[in-house]
Amino acid sequence: MYKLVFLSNQNTLQHDLPLTEVSNILRSGEGLLWLVLQDANEEEMNNILRDVFHFHDLTIEDCLSQGYQPPKLDIFEDYIFLIMHALIPHQDELEALRTGELDLFLGHNFVVTSTREGELPPISRVWNRLVRDERLLSHGSDFLFHAILDALVDDYLPVLDEMDEEIDWLEDRVLEKPNPETLQRILSLKHATLTLRRITSPQREIMNRLSRDSIDFIAEKYQIYFRDIYDHLVRIQDLTDSVRDIVSGTLDIYLSATSNRLNEVMKALTIVSTIFLPLSFVAGVYGMNFKYFPEINWPYGYLFVWIIFIAIVLLMIWVFRKRGWL
């Protein structure tokens, strides 16, 4: 499915134009058109992207691809093609940090966005903003392009704030009660930081190109806006690296705490085994089937054995305490 909005040179806003009219708009080069493709099938995407906009086959292939496409920027004669990744809302974002591919085309009088992940939040917010204030389109396609990218990058910051809160909780929990649930949350947080860094690192370089290179489709006066997005991505990547380092340290603390707990258990078992070793020896001696045992006929033989047992236990405990093992 698709939806579109068109602002004419007379500042008239139109919705749901037929594709034939879209072709006329592209040929005339007047006004500003924004077309949004969401969960479109292959036939629909081919009809629009190839037959109406005449985009390159390689860019259409990227849009149709079901696999992971890394962020990238391709500059063509009549448009630029950009692959970005937006965060997909989830009940527990850190438990399963998901991203959705957003494909963008920027021309002199059009912007096309395509996604196979349903309605992405950045697209929805900019669209709703446009419905409330159509002046967003009056600044040109490059400014609309910036507004979409800015909304996409802004979604990363709340996730980092949530990561900070999760780290504070984990740092307390890992020392008080390290358990498998704590380990699972540490690993989930580590995976989330790696995912966030994987998508922000190439996107930062893309924003750097858009803000510094001379690109026909972006006015020089708007390059500073893309520079602002670049600065946000630099800050996000620095924070992500910091969170990743803290998470790695927290994981090391968890493993150390778990190892210490295991050592304490092994220490207790070793002490018990060491105490019972001489007792087992004494019991084994008196359990042998010899005919003559002097203590068997002695009235105090049973009591004597118990005195030996207690003496051995007390001696072992005294030795352990003196050596600092207890």
pLDDT tens across 110-145, in order? 999 998 887 888 888 988 888 787 777 778 888 999
Lowest-confidence region among 94-103, 138-147, 230-239, 282-291: 282-291
pLDDT tens digits for range 207-231 = 998 888 778 888 888 889 999 999 9
110-115 and 32-38 as β-strands: parallel, antiparallel, unpaired?
Answer: parallel
Predicted confidence band of residue 42 (pLDDT cuts 50, 70, 90): confident
> Percent of the chain, pLDDT > 70?
92
Instruction: Grade residue 163 by pLDDT with cuts at 50, 70 and 90.
Output: confident
Rounded Cα–Cα distance for residues 39 and 70 (Å) = 19
Helix (H, G, I), strand (E, B) or coil at 84: strand
Q: Helices 121-132 & 141-154, crossing angle to 10 degrees?
A: 130
More confident residue, 271 or 32: 32
- Spatial distance between the Cα atoms of 64 and 128, rounded to a whole number of angstroms: 26
Residues in the chain, total: 326
Give helix 156-176 / helix 180-212 axis angle, nearest 10°.
Answer: 150
pTM of this structure: 0.77
In angstroms, the first-to-last Cα distance of the chain is: 72
Domains annotated for the chain, with CATH where assigned, are 2-258 (3.30.460.20), 271-322 (1.20.58.340)
- Is pLDDT above 70 for 23? yes
| Structure-block tokens of residue 158 | 């709340």
Distance CA 272, CA 305 (A): 20
Contact 2, 38 (CB under 8 A): yes
DSSP letter for 222, please: G
* Joined tokens for residue 229: 């997005």
pLDDT at 74: 92
Residue 71 contacts residue 83 (beta carbons within 8 Å): yes
